[in-house]
Chain A
Amino acid sequence: MTQTVATSAGPRFTRVAVAGNPNSGKTTIFNGLTGMRLKVGNYAGVTVERREGRLRGDPTGRTLLVDMPGTYSLAARSLDERIARDVLLGWQPGEPPPDAVIVVLDASNLERNLYLATQILDLNLPVVFLCNMMDIARQRGLTISLSRLAKAFGVPVIPTIGNKSEGLDDIAPALQEALAGPVSLRPFCPMPEAIEQHAAQLGRVLVRHRLADARTARGAALLLLLRPSQVEHEIDEPLPVEVDQALHVARVALAVAGFDDLSSYLVQRRYEWLDERLASVIRYALVRREHLSDRIDHVLTHKVFGLVAFALVMFGMFASIFWLAEPAMGLVETVVSWLQSLVHAKLPEGALSDLLADGIVAGVGNIVVFFPQICLLFLFIALLEDTGYMARAAFLMDRIMRGVGLHGKSFIPLLSSMACTVPGIMATRTIENRRDRLATILVAPLIACSARLPVYFILIALIFPSESVWTKAGVLAAIYLAGILLALGIATLLKKTVLRGPTPMFVMELPPYRLPDPWPVVRVVWDRGRSFLVRAGTFILAASVLLWAIFYWPHSSDLSPAPETHEMLSQALAAPPAGQGGAVAESLPQTLAPKPQALAAASRQLEYSLAGRLGKLIEPAIRPLGYDWRIGVAIIASFTAREIFVSTMGIVYSVDDAGNGSGVLRTRMQAAVRPDGSPVFSKATCLSLLVFYSLAMQCVSTLAVTWRESGSWRWPAFLWGYMAVLAYGAAFVTYHIAAAFGLAA
């Protein structure tokens, strides 16, 4: 995790945290206040995004804004809430406590927004309220007296309309005013005597452990008392033993004093207090006006139209991903092959030029070729989130996801995995519960992604050489369906075993529909895409170089006299992982029309290399699946990306149009025989391979992203392991059943 420590924040910088509910328009305000120069990273040790930037138009020029995760509370019930609390209390590693807090409030929904605000006020930090989306509040018939609001809470209140940048200029002076003002230690929302006493006692323990100071002690103690005891160890870091004991003592004593459901009491008390205060602040129009957003929902969550619209949105999303990503991917492939031939042309022949061209350039190509598809998927996900439709998707699909013990929010990540597992896994960040997020990540690779298509094409062509296109399409559809059903089945299983836990609660806000701001959307797409390139990319690059090495060594120069040999090999390895069917075909032969003898030499080098030897070594293990050593090599090679299977087969069978499933390669594969004269690619073997490639974890990018998102190497290891067992077992059974039907000959 880089960028967690604010290096630019010396002691002379004023640090201001920006807090608020989800959907309060906080992100738009933050962008408006900081402009384009942001530092984006993660909070230490977690995948919660952290953004930081300087306040624009600030006369001192030394005000640093830190964006906090959007939360409804500081109870530390979810990871976001825990981070939000820790940022404010200075408990987050590498994150000094803020000097002031800007609280963004949704004016059309003040009560719930102020619940969080009063928790923050309890910490006695200088606070400024932004009453955001005043226009929507007015449209809804709400009249808000800002002066009374300011008086009731004792803080400056600025009316803003974030998406029109209205009111943002008033924030810097208000911050100065808040920072200069006296710090009041008067308790906001006073609690009954017994609670105040125990909070004070607990506060003193916190001060002793330097977890709080005189200002924040009471508020911090109340937050710890609010935190439900049963979630403590799942999300929260352990507290010092003495604090833990003091907390326990306080809870027991308060239970005896009649507060047996303390956390519920604390919440209710705060809302009661708020309702009293707000009675004079907000006036509601007598006639309830239906907001445009409600009218849109009449259609988009309608029994019939809602589902039709949902299907159209999803279909449109995928159609445009395939349609838009393909040219960009083709471009990446062309540039990669051009660079490779450039390296070979400019550098003297040898291991160095091969490493550079076939290991590094190919490896980088393997990463970059993902980039267009990932960015597009993130673009759509960002648009769905910012318009408010994402919550509706969860609302529409929850009934189905609940059946397998997941949340409606798991639907979009799983669906996105049909295009590419990598952004699908990155899209799980919206799932709050860690177990459910992991369950979603662990089954996403079972959904047939587009990189499997080239492999499916050639295998289906081998199994059904003469059947109609419709049969083949039907088989392909069945494979996709099987992948989805299997993912849901495994999710159920995971939720009952490794990730045991109750079905997550749904309780979810349906925010009003909004027109998304283009700039933040672009920003999110860029940040996430870059994060993939940098973090996962290094891992993928290393794996590609390693793979290159096992195909290159031991090297027999007399076996490969023609320089094209390695280019053939390299191109096979660099075959783009996203593979929209024809993509592989384009990349392989175009740049150099290889001579047949070069192809044959490449084929011989393959057998001679470590990879070839490994293929022979694992042959006994894969023979029960109906495979020979050549298929073994292809399986090893496709560890980085599945579609490499096709190009490896191209080398094995010395064919230069490997990507074309109906071409020479298919004929050669059909004609290939084992030493005993039986065909290598019998129908049984092909069926077994089809099953194996559907189930095995052969995508180093997915592993890299899983490692990054789960924060541990154990989960990718588990993912790889369970899918390997599943693939081997299922391929074994498939082969033997098919053989029993006489399909092995």
Chain B
Amino acid sequence: MKANVVGSSTLADMTIGMHARVSKVHGQPALRHRLLEMGMTPGCCVRLVRVAPLGDPLDFELRGYHLSLRRDEARNVVVEEL
């Protein structure tokens, strides 16, 4: 998994209830491809809905549905806070 991109926040840094806009998707090709196919494309709006009881994974809402990602995976999606 690619480390946090310096100076920008990622999906993993969001707090519950926060909205953000995806600006870039990094990560291993397989993960990046999968995230994009699930609609996590640059420009798309995302909200962090909740965190699993054991602290991971995270539950995001985007494009009208819920997608859960692990923190390690969420770290690959660079977002702008809204």
Residue numbers of A with Cβ under 8 A of B are 72-73, 75, 77, 106, 108-112, 115, 140, 142, 228, 230-231, 261, 263-264, 267-268, 271-272, 275, 294, 297-298, 301-304, 306-307, 391, 395-396, 398-400, 402, 408, 502, 505-512
Give the residue of A261, A264, A301, A408 whose beta carbon is less than 8 angstroms from that of B59: A301
Q: Most chain-B CB neighbours within 10 Å: which of A142, A271, A502? A: A271
Once A228-B30, A396-B52, A400-B54 are accepted as A-B contacts, the answer to whether A510 and B66 lie under 8 Å apart by CB is yes
> What is the interface size of chain B, counting residues whose CB is below 8 A from a CB of the partner?
35
Q: Which residues of B contact A115 (CB under 8 A)?
A: 37, 39
Give the residue of A230, A275, A396, A507 whose beta carbon is less than 8 angstroms from that of B53: A396
Say yes or no: A508 contacts B67, CB within 8 Å.
yes
Report the separation of the CA atoms of residues A512 and B61 in the bound assembly, to the nearest whole angstrom: 12
Q: Which residues of A contact B56 (CB under 8 A)?
A: 398-399, 402
Say yes or no: B63 contacts A111, CB within 8 Å.
yes
For the complex of A and B, 3 pairs with smallest distance between CB atoms: A399-B54, A510-B66, A267-B36
Say yes or no: B30 contacts A396, CB within 8 Å.
no
Say yes or no: A510 contacts B67, CB within 8 Å.
yes
Report the separation of the CA atoms of residues A108 and B64 in the bound assembly, to the nearest whole angstrom: 6
Say yes or no: A395 contacts B59, CB within 8 Å.
yes
Report the separation of the CA atoms of residues A99 and B36 in the bound assembly, to the nearest whole angstrom: 30
Report the separation of the CA atoms of residues A77 and B29 in the bound assembly, to the nearest whole angstrom: 12
By beta carbon, the residue of chain A nearest B44 is: A271
* 27 A–B pairs (Cβ distance < 8 Å), ordered by A: A109-B64, A112-B63, A140-B64, A230-B30, A261-B29, A261-B32, A264-B25, A264-B29, A264-B36, A267-B37, A268-B36, A268-B41, A275-B43, A297-B49, A301-B53, A395-B52, A395-B59, A398-B52, A398-B56, A506-B57, A506-B73, A507-B38, A509-B65, A510-B65, A510-B68, A511-B65, A511-B66
Q: Which residues of A contact B55 (CB under 8 A)?
A: 399
Say yes or no: B36 contacts A402, CB within 8 Å.
no
Say yes or no: B57 contacts A395, CB within 8 Å.
yes
Say yes or no: A306 contacts B53, CB within 8 Å.
yes
By beta carbon, the residue of chain B nearest A231 is: B30
5 extra A-B contacts, CB within 8 A, seeds A109-B65, A267-B33: A115-B39, A271-B41, A294-B49, A301-B52, A509-B68
By beta carbon, the residue of chain B nearest A306 is: B53
Q: Which residues of B contact A264 (CB under 8 A)?
A: 25, 29, 32-33, 36
By beta carbon, the residue of chain B nearest A116 is: B37
Report the separation of the CA atoms of residues A111 and B39 in the bound assembly, to the nearest whole angstrom: 8
By beta carbon, the residue of chain A nearest B47 is: A288
By beta carbon, the residue of chain B nearest A310 is: B53
Once A264-B25, A510-B67 are accepted as A-B contacts, the answer to whether A75 and B39 lie under 8 Å apart by CB is no
Say yes or no: A75 contacts B59, CB within 8 Å.
no
Count: A-B pairs, CB below 8 Å: 124
By beta carbon, the residue of chain A nearest B63 is: A111
Report the separation of the CA atoms of residues A291 and B37 in the bound assembly, to the nearest whole angstrom: 25
Nearest Cβ on chain B to A222's Cβ, whole angstroms: 14
Quick check: is B34 within 8 A (CB to CB) of the other chain? yes
Q: Which residues of A contact B50 (CB under 8 A)?
A: 297-298, 301
Report the separation of the CA atoms of residues A304 and B59 in the bound assembly, to the nearest whole angstrom: 17
Quick check: is B18 within 8 A (CB to CB) of the other chain? no
Q: Which residues of B contact A395 (CB under 8 A)?
A: 52, 57, 59, 68
Q: Which residues of A contact B28 (CB under 8 A)?
A: 502
Quick check: is B20 within 8 A (CB to CB) of the other chain? no
Report the separation of the CA atoms of residues A268 and B25 in the bound assembly, to the nearest whole angstrom: 11
Say yes or no: B41 contacts A507, CB within 8 Å.
no
By beta carbon, the residue of chain A nearest B30 is: A228
By beta carbon, the residue of chain A nearest B61 is: A294
By beta carbon, the residue of chain B nearest A298 is: B50
Say yes or no: B65 contacts A263, CB within 8 Å.
no
Report the separation of the CA atoms of residues A398 and B31 in the bound assembly, to the nearest whole angstrom: 17
Say yes or no: A505 contacts B31, CB within 8 Å.
yes
By beta carbon, the residue of chain A nearest B39 is: A112
Within 8 A of A (CB), among B51-81: 52-57, 59, 63-70, 73
Give the residue of B25, B29, B68 whose beta carbon is less than 8 angstroms from that of A228: B29
Q: Which residues of B contact A261 (CB under 8 A)?
A: 29, 32
Say yes or no: B42 contacts A268, CB within 8 Å.
yes
Say yes or no: B66 contacts A402, CB within 8 Å.
no
Report the separation of the CA atoms of residues A400 and B43 in the bound assembly, to the nearest whole angstrom: 33
Report the separation of the CA atoms of residues A72 and B38 in the bound assembly, to the nearest whole angstrom: 7
Report the separation of the CA atoms of residues A408 and B28 in the bound assembly, to the nearest whole angstrom: 20
By beta carbon, the residue of chain B nearest A399 is: B54
Say yes or no: B29 contacts A75, CB within 8 Å.
no
Say yes or no: A230 contacts B63, CB within 8 Å.
no
Within 8 A of A (CB), among B10-30: 25, 28-30
Say yes or no: A73 contacts B37, CB within 8 Å.
yes
Report the separation of the CA atoms of residues A503 and B75 in the bound assembly, to the nearest whole angstrom: 16
Q: Which residues of B contact A402 (CB under 8 A)?
A: 56, 70
Say yes or no: A505 contacts B30, CB within 8 Å.
yes
Q: Which residues of A contact B37 (CB under 8 A)?
A: 72-73, 75, 115, 267
Once A268-B41, A271-B36, A510-B68 are accepted as A-B contacts, the answer to whether A505 and B59 lie under 8 Å apart by CB is no
Q: Which residues of A contact B48 (CB under 8 A)?
A: none
Q: Which residues of B contact A509 (CB under 8 A)?
A: 38, 65-68
Q: Which residues of A contact B46 (CB under 8 A)?
A: none
Say yes or no: A505 contacts B33, CB within 8 Å.
no
Say yes or no: B69 contacts A507, CB within 8 Å.
yes
Q: Most chain-A CB neighbours within 10 Å: which of B35, B59, B67, B68? A: B68
Report the separation of the CA atoms of residues A463 and B65 in the bound assembly, to the nearest whole angstrom: 56
Say yes or no: A109 contacts B63, CB within 8 Å.
yes
Q: Which residues of B contact A302 (CB under 8 A)?
A: 53
Q: Which residues of A contact B70 (CB under 8 A)?
A: 398, 402, 505-506
Q: Which residues of B contact A297 (CB under 8 A)?
A: 49-50, 59
